[in-house]
Amino acid sequence: MFGAALPLIMTLDYRCSMKNVKLKSPPQEPKPAKATTRRTGGRTGPRSAYRTAEVEEIFRRFSVQRPEPKGELEHVNPFTLVVAVALSAQATDAGVNKATRQLFAVADTPEKMLALGEERVRDYIKTIGLYRNKAKNVIALSEKLIADFGGEVPRTREELVTLPGVGRKTANVVLSMAFGQPTMAVDTHIFRIANRIRLAPGKTPDEVEAHLLRVIPEHYLFHAHHWLILHGRYVCKARRPECERCVIADLCKSPEKTCDIPAPLVELPPQAISVAARSR
């Protein structure tokens, strides 16, 4: 009796047990993984190592430490800023400031610079590397400003890069510092930091610029350029990062870091923000 009913009982049990089971779909060939696509030009590249909330916290701390960061190149107007930034290629800000203090005292407009002449400009900036070629560019850009822009510094990147000796980085600095536009001028400090801490990895300055513009919160973008430069210049140094002085040591994902404890988050005195500010 039981022997005859056993197959029926097992069948019923099997049917009951299968009520809540989802049948698997037929096996399919795996789809190729999608590459991380940048928003600019459709190129691919490594992602930032940080979540959105972590990037927000990084720049919040920078904003507490340096509420109003300033560039260290001395200038008195947009024209002298263009000249100073153009002269700063392969030179230190301190070295440029030393040369331009006297130069800008006698020539702070394109017209005055042309009147001064290339030879005298050379004499003022001879302590700066590549000073002969830079003097030619200063005169040439002064001529172009007068001829094409009425002696005024243009307010677009496309126009700025037409000036002799002015590239994308210089144009971005001028747009940010002279005209208050949120741009990202990638210098050696920013390029190093973006890759070292894996905030915005990239193989070229243009790649790093595009990546930083993507990941930095919009409300921090205006000062982000100076925060990153100053952090790279005084804390996350090229030869040996001073992690014990870093306010983002706990968030940092650099394989080079030597400390996980962040430095006290306090506002730095003005003299630590801008050497140039003291002399103005």
Which residues are designated catalytic? 169, 187
The contacts of residue 212 (CB under 8 Å, 6+ apart) are: 184, 186, 190, 194, 199, 200, 224, 228
> Is 259 labelled as part of a ligand binding site?
no
Contact, 180 vs 13, CB < 8 A? no
d(CA 256, CA 241): 8
Would the annotation count 16 as a binding residue? Answer: no
Q: Any idea which residue has 């030597």 for tokens?
A: 258
* Residue 127: φ, ψ to 5°: -85, -5
**Exposed/middle/buried for 143, CB within 10 Å: 0-12, 13-18, 19+?**
middle
Contacts of 88 by beta carbon, 8 Å cutoff, 6+ apart: 73, 96
Cα separation, 125 vs 135, in Å, equals 8
Binding-site positions for [4Fe-4S] cluster read 236, 243, 246, 252
Binding-site positions read 236, 243, 246, 252
